[in-house]
Amino acid sequence: MAMGLKDSWQPKSARTKITDQYIAGQSMRIGRDVGEVRLCRLCLSSMSANLSVMTKFLRLVALLFLAMLAACEQSDSWRFWNSADGPSGDSAPTQSRDSLRIVTAQGEHVFRIEMADNPSERSQGLMYRRELAPDAGMLFDFDEQRPVAMWMKNTYIPLDMLFIRRNGTIVTIAENTVPFSLQSIPSGEPVSGVLEVNGGTVRRLGIRPGDRVYHEMFAR
């Protein structure tokens, strides 16, 4: 028994050394745990940064796409013809494009025009258009000389209407017609065509009855 007790007994310095080793081991374990936590935080931070960069990139792509769409919409052809959709969602018919001249006492004025020379196009007219360029218009060709009447149903912008004989002479003018009005606007006498331009154009250019319109449809 005495020998056993003697063998199991250890000096104080030895016990202290074991304790220090145990503490050192625990400290190393804690250090590794802290290192792993820091590594996880670093990974999360990196992932967050990458996500932020990706989000900014996608936003930039979206902005570039919208800018391209805006540029297309602002092209000359789109700005001039402005083929707005009607309430049914169907696009307005695509009229042929042309030009004509009006000779007045003040000089000659050139307009870029759309032709409405069939029943569908004449029925559609300038309905649903939100704007029209200052030198733009629509020429209605009725195929024959006869009394006609116009109206402003579903038309957003005021118009000047020039009623024209077969020889190109302007016979009557209706200025600044009222948008959306269903009131009939008669020609007053037989005509073969009607030119619609922006409201105020007639006054601005000094266009009057008796002035001449030059276009191939009046040379037939």
**Under CATH, which architecture does the 95-218 domain have?**
Sandwich (2.60)
Is the entire prediction scored with pTM above 0.85?
A: no
Per-residue model confidence (pLDDT) at position 31: 62
Q: How far is CA 122 from CA 14, 117, 149, in A?
A: 110, 7, 12
Question: Tokens 């402005």 sit at which residue?
Answer: 82
Instruction: Name which of 100, 107, 108, 97 is nearest 164 in CA terms.
Output: 100
**Amino acid letter, residue 83:** S
Binned average pLDDT, 10 residues per bin, the chain of 220 residues = 46 60 65 64 68 76 73 42 39 60 96 96 96 96 96 97 97 98 97 98 97 91
Per-residue model confidence (pLDDT) at position 79: 36
Per-residue model confidence (pLDDT) at position 92: 42
Cβ–Cβ under 8 Å, residues 101 and 135: no
Cβ–Cβ under 8 Å, residues 133 and 157: no
Per-residue model confidence (pLDDT) at position 138: 97
Domain ranges of the chain: 12-72, 95-218
2 alpha-carbon distance from chain centroid: 102
